[in-house]
Amino acid sequence: MATLYTRKDSNIRKTWFLMTGFLIVLIGIGYAFSYVYNDPYILIIFAVIAIVMNVTAYWYSDSIALSSARAVPADGPQYLELNRVVENLAITAGLPKPRVYVINDPAPNAFATGRNAKHAAVAVTTGLLNMMTTTELQGVIAHELSHIGNDDILISTVVVVLVGLLAIASQFFLRSMMFGGGRRGNDRDNSGLFMILAIVGIVLAPVVGTIIQLAISRKREFLADASGALLTRYPEGLASALEKIKAYDMPMQNPSAATAHLFISNPFGPKQGSISKLFMTHPPIDERIAILREQA
């Protein structure tokens, strides 16, 4: 029988499965370029660009995310309790204390970022600090530390880069097809079916990539809920925090689509409808609360 804690291994396997499929799609796009333009070096160039973007994301993902969220270091005396909670839970989790940041925003939210446990950061909004009790704050921080401990903060960053690369490559490919180019003569005539399939793949790639990104993000949240509850030994703390977060139905003041999936809750606020649910970066909060309280 699946429980809050046995979901961890399942979510990790599914996450790597989705990542593998995503990389196959990325390689396929590069191959489509090289085939249609009859130039194998395009595939090599495409691979080099992907590697450069991933390396850049690896080293600077935390700075980019924090800057995008307008986060500032939580160094003032008013943040002593926040730093104490982060430090105590980090010790319990066996992690180095991450850098702590605050976002001046009334919406209750938080996120973790960084390339690994030694180079990680946790950011919380002022709205979260004003709204949560100590046990609720502990639940949220434990959730974010779990993202760090589970090594999925880097995975999420890589996915963002790959989705962006697919979108850029697709636009470039479609524009180049509009202005001609590609194979010539009989070889082009014989490759008509392949070109049609390649164009269809290019058009659908960004949509498929986004869906994969969101699916990984949702599974990350379930995994972090499970690990966070295990860390505090008090699932009700996080469940109660999520209830308060859900009750605040306004978006953050400066949400960014690029980092939306990093937050504990959708920074754009609640969305309704079956179609919009497909593109939500987070699983339904009610479902997360129910799973947590099953273990309380």
The answer to whether 236 is a known catalytic residue is no
Q: What is the largest CA-CA distance in the chain?
A: 74
Catalytic residue among 81, 87, 136, 144: 144
Which among 266, 243, 267 is positioned nearest to 255, based on CA atoms? 267
Phi/psi at 264 (nearest 5 deg)? -70, -25
Which among 270, 292, 294, 266 is positioned nearest to 139, based on CA atoms? 292
Q: Which two tokens stand for residue 213?
A: 């990104």
In which element (H, E) is residue 116 found?
Answer: strand 110-116
Q: How far apart are CA 277 and CA 296, in angstroms?
A: 28
Q: How far apart are CA 89 and CA 104, in angstroms?
A: 23
Q: Which two tokens stand for residue 172?
A: 């470039």
Q: Are 169 and 130 in contact (CB under 8 A)?
A: no
Q: Which two tokens stand for residue 113?
A: 């970022």
Q: Are 145 and 112 in contact (CB under 8 A)?
A: yes
In which element (H, E) is residue 230 found?
Answer: helix 192-232
The pairing of beta strand 99-103 with beta strand 110-116: unpaired
- Beta-bridge partner residues of 116: 119
The pairing of beta strand 110-116 with beta strand 119-125: antiparallel
Residues 6+ apart with CB under 8 A from 199: 174, 177
* Residue given tokens 């850098």 in the structure block: 99
Catalytic residues, by residue number, are: 144
